[in-house]
Amino acid sequence: MGSADTTGTRRAWQAAYVRRLFWTDAIIVTLAVLLAHIVRFGHENLLTMDPVSTLNYTLISVGIAVAWLTNLRLFRTRSRRVIGAGYDEYQRVVSSTLRLFGFIAIAALVFQLELARGYLAIALPVGLFGLLVSRWLWRKAVARKRRRGEFTTSVLVVGGARAVRHLGSTFERKFTDGYRVVGVCVPAYSGSVGDEIDVDGRSVPIFGDEHSIVEALSASGADTVAVAATETLGPEGIKDLVWKLDPHGVDLVVTTGVVDVASPRIEMRPVAGLPLIHVEKPSYHGAKRSGKRLFDLAFSAAAMLVLLPLFAVVAVAIKLDNKGPVFYRSERIGLDGEPFGMIKFRSMVTKADAMVESLLVQNEGAGLLFKMRDDPRVTRVGKVLRRYSIDELPQFINVLRGEMSVVGPRPPLRREVENYDGRVKRRLLVRPGVTGLWQVSGRSDLSWDESVRLDLSYVENWSMVSDVLIIGKTVKAVLAKDGAY
């Protein structure tokens, strides 16, 4: 299949997907406004132009629905750049909706309109919730298609073997984003066309050097070119490439080479006519940390109140199954290298720590981690607690005491920290978490390097939005029992 055919196919499914999003948005917005009108004013005056009070709410409802849909379009919530992956789509939906209702509230205040607050209080949350849920459901449908190899973006990478392997591995790991490396052009390549590069066990063909990009498009069927070798092409070479790709309708992306840095920390600034990428330093102090601490306290207090009945049932089950204490304290290293006792429900026999040395030869954990799928020290009740991560819930007590955070890096053992190098020690710049990227990305199935990479990525990029998303993904990971043993 040629690049033009592939590009046409991609644009066809994207256009169909955007149309479905529009009609879904229209139905949800209409139902939200209609529900607000009926609940607040009843249905008697719904189809008439008679004013309910001093205002005609039939016209107002129609106007709000139209304005809402228009705002969703203006904020480009259905742009093909954000649909299907990442949280930018959700962020744009939330931002466009809140700004619209904020504008309505200000307009009502300025023009002294007696706009019923109950009407807006129903339409806003119902509509926003419906929009977010519908986007999530559509994403799930796209993810299922991508598992079958459909709805994907085929990428031709211009760069060396290392860059190709890094991009390919990243795309494979985040398959729901739909990117897949299908070919490579290696700068100054002197080998034969048809040679291959191994990417995560998959052979990717080489189509020549940096001068063979246009020809490689047809041969590979790629609809996107990713340039990783910016130092080889140079500014003029990239500009020439833009013009060469224009007739083919192919997207061009340039990788920055900046790994594991989230988009809020990256800003493009034109300096002397050059587009320079400015990377903000990670922030661990000030208002940002205070806001995280307040969130931790509120969330943990609410969680403890909800979980008290479960705690009582688990305590009784542990006592009946195996003699010994209900809780177990495990020494962990926290913020700035300070040790603390992490609280868990006891899931092993008493004196289990003394048995570790004899079991090290059976260790299945990655790197410095000790893990066993069939650990003989785990009790019958403990297996259930671990399978659903119930044994971790008492850690909310550690959060209330200021020793942990709801979301953060994995709490390390002292023997792990003693073997940290300078880079890995950055994990100790923030409080360890009850959950984190490691929890929602495979848990015990992760390699040591991948676990470290995720922890460092969180430390350098953490934000309140990412914390909320990780908490939501944690619930899904726990219910699916992914990597739990």
Q: What is the pLDDT of residues 174-187, one digit of tens each?
A: 777 888 888 998 88
pLDDT (average), residues 90-115 = 85
Confidence class for position 305, pLDDT limits 50, 70, 90 = very high
Q: Sign (positive/negative) of CA torsion 104, 106, 112, 117?
A: positive
Tell me: pLDDT of 300 over 90: yes
Domains present along the chain, CATH in parentheses: 3-147 (no CATH), 153-255 (3.40.50.1980), 287-480 (no CATH)
Q: How far apart are CA 228 and CA 256, in angstroms?
A: 8
pLDDT value at residue 21: 94
pLDDT at 386: 84
The pLDDT assigned to 354 comes to: 63
From 158, 163, 141, select the one nearest 150 (Cα to Cα): 141
pLDDT over threshold 80, residue 443: no
DSSP structure string for 391-424: GGTTHHHHHHTTS-EEE-S----HHHHTT--TTG
Alpha-carbon torsion, ordered 348, 350, 354, 358, to 10 deg: -50
pLDDT band at 44 (very low <50, low <70, confident <90, very high): low
Task: Select the more confidently predicted residue: 378 or 402.
Answer: 402
The b-or-e profile of 81-103 (16+ CB within 10 A means b, else e) is: ebbbbeeebbebbbebbeebbee
Q: Which of 331, 348, 359 is nearest to 418 (CA)?
A: 331
Tell me the pLDDT tens digit for each residue of 47-87.
554 444 445 667 888 889 999 999 999 999 998 878 877 77
List 224's β-bridge partners, or say none.
155, 251
Question: Considering the entire predicted model, what is its pTM?
Answer: 0.65
142: its two tokens: 């796209």
Q: Please indicate whether residue 113 or residue 221 has the higher confidence score (pLDDT).
A: 221
The per-residue pLDDT for 54 is 47
Percent of the chain at pLDDT > 90 equals 23
Whether pLDDT at 4 is above 60: no
pLDDT given for residue 398 in this prediction: 96
Does residue 259 have a pLDDT over 70?
no
pLDDT digits (tens, 9 = 90+) for 337-396: 899 999 999 988 777 666 666 666 555 555 555 566 667 778 888 888 888 889 999 999
Q: What pLDDT is recorded for position 485? A: 46
Which whole number is the average pLDDT over 111-117?
Answer: 71
Mean pLDDT comparison of 98-112, 149-163, 302-316, highest-scoring range:
302-316
Structure-derived torsion over alpha carbons of residues 301, 302, 304, 308, reported in degrees to the nearest 10: 140
On average, the pLDDT of the chain sits at 81
Q: Is the separation of the CB atoms in 204 and 211 below 8 Å? A: no
- pLDDT category at 266 given cuts 50, 70, 90 is low
Does residue 116 or residue 469 have the better pLDDT?
469
For the residues 132-139, what does the mean pLDDT come to?
A: 92
Number of H helices, E strands in the chain: 15, 12
Name the residue among 351, 302, 343 with its Cα closest to residue 324. 351
Whether 116 has a pLDDT exceeding 90, the answer reads: no
- CA-to-CA distance for 135 and 20, rounded, in angstroms? 10
User: Greater confidence, 286 or 5?
Assistant: 286
Q: Is the confidence at residue 99, as pLDDT, over 90? A: yes
Q: Which residue has the higher pLDDT, 101 or 82?
A: 101
- Quick: pLDDT tens for 191-211: 777 788 888 778 889 998 888
The token pair at 430 is 């923030």
**Which are the contacts of 368, defined by CB distance < 8 A and separation ≥ 6?**
413, 415, 416, 419, 448
Q: Are 335 and 289 in contact (CB under 8 A)?
A: no
Residue 3 has pLDDT above 80, yes or no: no
- Say which residue, 445 or 461, is predicted with more confidence: 461
Radius of gyration over every alpha carbon of the chain, rounded to an integer in angstroms: 27
How far is Cα 441 from Cα 444, in angstroms, rounded to an integer?
9
